[in-house]
Amino acid sequence: MGVRLQVLGVVLLGLLVSGGAGLLMHRVERDGAGQALDRRTAAAQDAVASATQRYVDALQLAAGGLEALSALDAAAFSTATQPLGQLWLPGATGVDYVVAVPDAGVAAAQASWRDRGASDLTLAAAPGNPVHYFAVLSRGLDAKNALPAGRDLVGVPQVGAAIDRAERTGLPAASEPYVALRDAGSSAEPQPQTVALVQRVVERRTGALRGYLQLTVRVQDFFGDTLRQPVRDLLDVGLAAYAGSELRTIATIRSRGERGTDLHRTVEVQVADRQWQLRVTAGSGALAGAGGHLDDGMFFGGAALTLVTALLVFTLATSRRRAEERVEEATAELRVAGATAKSQAALLSGVMDTIADGVAVIDGAGRAAWLNPTARAILGPDASQAPTWEWPELLDMREADGVTRYKSRNGVAGTESLVECMMAGRRIEIRLRTLLQDGEAPGAVAVMRDITDRHAAEEQLRSSEELLQLLLDGARDYAIYMLDPAGRIVSWSVNAERLNGYSSDETIGEDFARMFTPEDRERGLPARLLEQARELGRAEIDGPQVRKDGTRFWVHGLLSAVHEQDGSVRGFVNVSQDVTARKQADQVIERLNADLERRVAERTADLREANAELESFSYSVSHDLRAPLRAVDGFARILARDHGAELGEEGWRYVGRIRAGAQQMGELIDGLLAFSRLQRQELASHRVPVADLVAEVWEQLAVERGDRAVELVVGELPDALGDPRLVRQVLANLLGNAIKYSRDAPAPRVEIGHKVTTGGEATYFVRDNGAGFDMRYAEKLFKVFQRLHRAEEFEGNGIGLALAHRIVHRHGGQIWADAAPGEGATFYFTLPVTAPAVPALEAVP
């Protein structure tokens, strides 16, 4: 009975211990799963918070662009919101510019915004409301879900409430979730939810309210793209927001497969001025730390050990009474134990043969009684056979410095010592433990480890750290320091101390936000820079910072993220430069530019006044001067017709001179008008086929050539870029002059060609073998009414070359001449032939 009670006690105790150990291990695994879920939940929370902040930042950026504009119309809205279409904003369906309109002013507002470029705008007012919020300008960010402009947002009370909050606070506001008009007919359950982000737009100079900028987001699309990576099919995640007093689920992500739902987490996420709730559910078996069966194994292993122990107790308890009967059995068990001991010895030998450390058993005489293969490889064949006191000589053993001869050390019996030395050119770590037997030291066990590669790696690391510190201290114009993932300073260079005024003892472990101004810290700029660098790899710093003594200076720098091999952020590197002097210089330049713009505006006003006067003068010339000339010419013609017989030869000559003078005056007036109109004529920019124009002009000059045989030589003429009508007029003037001034040549010859093309311009020339001119008077060629020949020799009014000069200059080219009296003249002019070379051709007011 006593033996049975002992066995039963052992069994109960063993099962109790095994069960407790299994429960404890199960709790550890479950705690590990909970910690894994906490990390995943935090990652999802950070992903949602940073993504929504990116939407808010994009909205504020577009609103700031609208506030910077002096006039707001459809083109300005398109320019200011264009960057939103280039950003990655999943779920964003459109951005609208919203204005408040009283019920009585709907028609006037519609007409006003149509005049501003929204030509198809129709304002559909919701009945029964004194004030309407119309989306007058819209940009679709999702062609499938975009809505047209003109809708009245008063019909969506959630958006109206967000508009009211945005106006009161001046900060971005998020609406309560609602079902958008495009989703009202959706058969999906639940129906897709939409949220509007609203930012007010004010007049930057006066602060007056101009309107509101609304960004609509389809929450399910936004949520699915944002948490695709953090969730990775392991979690069930839901996003909830308050709709009135009700907490409504607005987006969900379901994991694939059956994983259980025994773990839950709920966290808050700040979205603009509202709090959303993130709900995470997962099965503990799907998370790292709870997927094993160590608890079951520990329980059943303990139970098996308990049974073995109980059997052993039973055997030992009954062996005394049956000693005589079990002598043979005991002998057999002894044989089995011997075989087991041999098996364990063989196992130990196998282990010693495969481990990377060398193991040597040294007897009391100082000889190696046993060496494993690694120890033989370290010692070599000679030292393996020699006593230990000969090892220093055989292996050329040195101390750790690699120079001093190794000195043998006598260890204290029963203690362990660690020695590092150089052995046959390799760095060896020796762990020596003496053995005790009857109070004497019969020998020792030495464990030898080759640490040559490890020591080299440590030295290389130390050298790299020294080099890095040297580089940090040597970059005199830059403050370089490192941050941990939380933004605390972990390294501080000499130049950082010189730039910021803090010593390393004052900054190590401190938040780098202390370098920023109180205003930037209050609006969360340091945290946003860290988040941007974490997401994008880098963030630019450009703004004021504060030194230790309180002085402010302007900093331009870069905050770069440093990643581990698994992609996680290891920390950040901040490289900053004091650009206060450059910033002050930029401010001076800005003031100078503002002054220059003011002067340009004044000169432009003067130019407009002068052009108005020129326009008035042109009108006078065209109408007031032509009438007297027509009268003079008409009366002279009547005099010749009615009284010709009474005039005589001298009278006819006088009448002819009167009519010729009137006609010449008319031609001068026509030239002046053409010259004046050229100042105000807007230039076109097209491809000009110069060779075709030359053929047309030459054909039209047939009357001027008369019956003279004028030879025309046409060389290579590349196409130009410009206004074909004006280029044609240049060719007509130059070719007409060439025909006119070569009429006295025995064999008149006109040549037109192309000289050279450089820098996007072609140089054309027109050459004749006519009268030529003296180059001393060349500066008069292109001035109005300036002629180098008398009217009796060659007719003309002195306007043609002035017109050609003005046309060429307005095309961005040049015109000049080369001639000699009696040897002909060559006129050169340049025109652009490629698009980049064509300057902006603007009409003169």
DSSP secondary structure of 385-424? HS-GGGHHHHTT-B-TTSSSBP----PPTT-EEEEEEEET
Coil/strand/helix, residue 681: coil
Of all residues in the chain, what percent are helix, strand and coil, respectively (each to 5)? Answer: 50, 25, 25
818 burial level (CB within 10 Å; 0-12, 13-18, 19+)? middle
Rg (CA), the chain: 49
Percentage of residues in the chain with pLDDT exceeding 90? 11
Q: State which amino acid sits at residue 342.
A: K
What pLDDT sits at residue 648? 76
3-state secondary structure of 540: strand
CA-CA distance, 376 to 353, in Å (whole number)?
11
**DSSP-H helix ranges across 320-388:** 327-354, 373-385
Q: Is pLDDT of 737 > 70? A: yes
CA distance 363 to 445: 9
**Rounded Cα gap, residues 377 and 264, in angstroms:** 57
- Residue 630: its H or E element: helix 626-680
Tell me the per-residue pLDDT of 561-605, one tens digit each, with 9 for 90 and over. 988 888 888 899 988 888 888 888 888 888 888 888 888 888 877
pLDDT in tens, 480-494: 889 999 999 988 888
629 against 571, higher pLDDT: 571
User: 190 preceded by cis ω (within 30°)?
Assistant: yes
Residue-level pLDDT at 402: 76
**Could you read off the pLDDT of 463-481 as tens digits, one per residue?**
766 666 666 555 566 888 8
DSSP, res 151: B
> Hey, which residues does 286 pair with through a beta bridge?
none
Q: Are 118 and 137 in contact, with CB atoms under 8 Å apart? A: yes
Check if the beta carbon of residue 375 is closer than 8 Å to that of residue 356: no
Rounded distance, CA 78 to CA 561, Å? 34
Amino acid in the structure at residue 287: L
Tell me: cis bond preceding 172? Omega within 30 of 0 counts. no
**Which residues, at least 6 apart from 501, have a Cβ–Cβ distance to it below 8 Å?**
547, 548, 549
Q: Which is more confidently placed, 655 or 156?
A: 156
- Alpha-carbon distances of 806 from 111, 529, 614, 679, 726, rounded to whole Å: 43, 56, 16, 8, 10
Q: What is the DSSP letter of 191?
A: P
Q: Is the pLDDT of residue 836 over 50?
A: no
Structure tokens at 774: 């003296």
DSSP state of 812: T
Q: What is the mean pLDDT of residues 112-127?
A: 88
Which range has the worst mean pLDDT, 5-19, 218-232, 267-281, 476-490? Answer: 5-19
Look up residue 593 and give its two tokens: 């530019």
At residue 427, the 3 state secondary structure works out as strand
Q: Which residue has the tokens 């094993």?
A: 292
Would you place residue 98 in the very low, low, confident or very high pLDDT band (cuts 50, 70, 90)?
Answer: very high
Mean pLDDT score of the chain: 79
Name the DSSP letter for residue 141. S
Average pLDDT over residues 717-736: 86
- In this prediction, residue 753 has a pLDDT band, given cuts at 50, 70 and 90, of very high
Q: With the C-alpha atoms ordered 135, 137, 140, 143, is the resulting torsion angle positive or negative? A: positive
**Within a 13 Å sphere around the CA of 479, how many CA atoms are in the beta-carbon half?**
25
Residue 442 is encoded by which pair of tokens? 């019969």
Contacts of 556 (CB under 8 A, 6+ apart): 540, 541, 542, 576, 577, 579
Strand order in the sheet with 552-563: 489-492, 478-483, 569-578, 552-563, 538-546
Residue 430 has pLDDT above 90, yes or no: no
Element spanning 694, H or E: helix 690-700
Q: Is the dihedral of CA 242, 248, 253, 254 positive or negative?
A: positive
Amino acid at site 419: V
CB atoms within 10 A of CB 135: 25
Q: Is the pLDDT of residue 172 over 90?
A: yes
Q: Which of 52-66, 669-683, 775-789 has the highest mean pLDDT?
A: 52-66
The pair of structure tokens assigned to 786 is: 């300036």
CA 489 to CA 480: how far, in whole Å? 11
Residue 289 has pLDDT above 70, yes or no: no
Residue 268: is its pLDDT beyond 50?
yes
CA-CA distance, 238 to 279, in Å (whole number)?
5
